[in-house]
Amino acid sequence: MSVRVRFAPSPTGYLHVGGARTALFNWLFARHHGGQFILRIEDTDKQRNTAEAVQVIYDGLRWLGLDWDEGPQAEGDCGPYFQSERHAIYERYFERLRAGGWLYEDAGAWRFRFAREVVEVDDLICGKVATDFANVEITPDMTIRRPDGSWIFHFVNVVDDLEMHVSHVIRGEDHLSNTAKHIQLFKALGTEPPRYGHIPLILNKDGSKMSKRDQGASVTSYMEGGYAPEAVRNYFCLLGWSPKDDREILPLEEIIARFDLSGVNRKGAHFDLAKCDWFNAQYLQQMPMERYRELVQPWLTKAGITATPAQLDPVLALEKMKVTHLSEVPDRISFFFTEDYPYDPAVVEKTLRKPGALERLAQLADAYASLEVFDAATLEGRLKELATSLGVKPAEFIHPARVAVSGRGVGPSLYHMLEVLGQTRTLARLERTRERFAA
């Protein structure tokens, strides 16, 4: 089977989750069948379309890893790939329809004369759907060109699919009602229509249709919110498609191998941002450190944190299993890269102002100063030995030490944190904190 599919967004603002999911399903279908994925920009609405919005589409698709085989910035034999540059092509097909008696003028606009018959769509997802065009009042003839000469979506959409040899149209279920009209245009032009598959709408948790105002609706929000693209892509794959087993975390290669329209659900897909967050956390936890460092680097740069991979990786590893969004990382690890870290006043009052706390810091510093091996296991053993010898609980040392070296009351394992800091920096921080709060 020769597969050519397309994603045809309108650049009117941003890339919506629904649009991204449509692009993803088309891309997966093309990759599964060894076919071609085409990007086509439907930019005939001059008042709403902007170059910035086009760039948002490029950036969003590339961030998700959806490369296109034909389209803007990718060349191809069926261009141009902007509808605003295809006027001559539309004129040619318009004249074909007019010469065939399919068009008539109505108050300056041009209408397509429907064949008054039943048109059946054999949809690859929704099954057979019939539309009866017998009643003119219910299905009036379709405008394809406005009085000002501009084109209506239905006409240019069909012409582009025909010219670009699209074999399958995979799009949102909200377009299902348009399909019988499009099939009539294909037949009037003397050609077979592509196969259609209409994927379910994306719904909010309450069952309402997801709109551009809903949280998580914009792909840009994931790009700017600290998400890993592979995690978001995996989650989007499951918005309406199922691999038919209980697994959710799936490598892309396996998704491509298993993806088929027969696995697309008929019912609406419920979007859950908390579930997407879970996917993100799972991916970050399982991610190789090299990839994790690559993804977190922009956030570190923005925060002014600079370090070599050798310096950075041990620090990142301490918090990697707790991170949900990459945007959290700079705040979690910033104290490792400066000696001028702030102290949480509430934690200081609760911990360091406690009677005996500063003395515990001095005792711990003395115990750690004599160590020849400064790893987590040795540090834990030495602290517990010290606590036992003094008849106190280890927490009497753990809590003040954590605040002393980080300024915080929570964080990674104290012993692993001290190991990464090293003996010299640990002892200096214990001493500096004791002197600061002794006054």
Enzyme catalytic residues: 212
Give the residue from 252, 230, 199 showing the smallest Cα distance to 19.
199
Can you tell me which residue has the tokens 């990382």?
329
Residue 188 in contact with residue 217, Cβ under 8 Å? no
CB 131 within 8 A of CB 118: yes
Rounded Cα distance between 303 and 327, Å, is: 10
Taking the C-alpha atoms of residue 254 and residue 242, their distance in angstroms, rounded to an integer, is 13
Which helix (H) or strand (E) covers residue 365, if one does?
helix 357-369
- Radius of gyration of the chain measured on its C-alpha atoms: 31
Report the C-alpha gap between 365 and 405 in whole angstroms.
12
- For Cα atoms 75, 81, 82, give the angle at the middle one, nearest 5 degrees: 140
Instruction: Collapse the DSSP code of 377 into the 3-class scheme (helix H, G, I; strand E, B; otherwise coil) and give the result.
Output: helix
298 Cβ contact list (under 8 Å, min separation 6):
none
Residues 6+ apart with CB under 8 A from 429: 339, 404, 405, 421
Cβ-in-10-Å burial (0-12, 13-18, 19+) of 304 comes to exposed
